């Protein structure tokens, strides 16, 4: 695990948040397109690389993957699904914002844990790193957008964004510590994280833009390009 990797994962949600601050509602037009690209990229890496390694290295890997999948369902009760494109800006209650930040933070922690595994990074040629980084751009965008819609001051919004951006790099450090001390625990946490990734990626990919279950051509192109790049370079 290199310093530049931690910097990339730290900078990605910051970039998304700054886009939301700079352009406010105008940037939401491209939000689902970026999500679709990242979802397809992650899903392809999960199927091609993460599943084989997780099931090879982790006893009872299926149980841990299922646990991560259902943990993400629980987290979405806190985040209301903003990590995969659902905006709910009508609720300004502090309790709503608090639970949203807690849910996103746990999700971000799970994002960071697998990035401490040199084996996973090498197997994907750092594709896992880039896929998660791309995914974290819309996460930062969503967090800032919700805070702005809820009439939070720009300074407080920037503070929350900064703290949120630190969580995944901190998880990488923690995972690196466990890698040196107890690889079985780390492998189990990685399997849980992969289950969470699976839920997020499939939700992004299978949610349509209309009641007729049709996808816009921009999302279709983004999905094809995301999957294609993951197959070529990861």
What mean pLDDT do residues 76-88 have?
70
What are the tens digits of pLDDT across the range 3-12? 899 999 999 9
What mean pLDDT do residues 172-180 have?
80
Question: Alpha-carbon dihedral of residues 45, 100, 23, 222, nearest 10 degrees?
Answer: 20
Residue 216 scores a pLDDT above 80: no
How confident is the model at residue 70, as a pLDDT?
A: 95
Residue 144 scores a pLDDT above 90: no
What are the tens digits of pLDDT across the range 31-80? 677 778 888 888 999 998 899 989 998 899 999 999 999 999 998 888 77
What mean pLDDT do residues 19-33 have?
69
CB 203 within 8 A of CB 20: no
Confidence at 213, pLDDT banded by 50, 70, 90 = low
How confident is the model at residue 84, as a pLDDT?
A: 62
Q: Which one, of 220, 231, 232, lies nearest residue 32 by Cα? A: 220
What are the tens digits of pLDDT across the range 185-199? 888 999 999 999 999
Percent of the chain residues past pLDDT 70, beyond the cut: 86
Residue 133 scores a pLDDT above 80: yes
How confident is the model at residue 25, as a pLDDT?
A: 58
Residue 1 scores a pLDDT above 70: no
Measured between alpha carbons, how far is residue 59 from residues 53, 136, 183, 190 in Å? Answer: 11, 29, 12, 12
Cα 205 to chain center, whole Å?
A: 14
Q: Which residue has the higher pLDDT, 162 or 118?
A: 162
pTM of the model: 0.84
Query: How confident is the prediction for the chain on average, in pLDDT?
Result: 84
């Amino acid at each position: 695990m290199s310093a530049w990797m931690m910097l990339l994962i730290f900078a990605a949600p910051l970039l998304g948040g700054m886009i939301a601050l700079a352009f406010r509602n105008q940037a939401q037009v491209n939000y689902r397109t970026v999500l679709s690209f990242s979802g397809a990229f992650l899903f392809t890496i999960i199927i091609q690389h993460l599943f084989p390694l997780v099931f090879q290295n982790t006893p009872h890997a299926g149980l841990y993957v299922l646990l991560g999948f259902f943990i993400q369902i629980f987290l979405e009760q806190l985040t209301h699904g903003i990590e995969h494109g659902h905006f709910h800006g009508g609720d300004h209650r502090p309790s709503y914002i608090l639970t949203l930040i807690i849910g996103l933070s746990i999700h971000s922690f799970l994002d960071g844990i697998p990035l401490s595994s040199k084996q996973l990074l090498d197997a994907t040629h750092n594709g896992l790193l880039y896929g998660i980084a791309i995914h974290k751009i819309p996460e930062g965008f969503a967090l800032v957008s919700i805070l702005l819609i809820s009439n939070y001051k720009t300074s407080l919004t920037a503070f929350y964004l900064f703290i949120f951006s630190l969580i995944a790099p901190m998880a990488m450090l923690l995972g690196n510590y466990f890698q040196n001390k107890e690889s079985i625990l780390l492998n189990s946490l990685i399997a849980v994280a992969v289950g969470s990734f699976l839920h997020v990626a499939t939700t992004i990919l299978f949610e349509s833009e209309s009641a007729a279950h049709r996808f816009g051509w921009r999302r279709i192109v983004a999905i094809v390009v995301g999957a294609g790049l993951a197959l070529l370079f990861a």
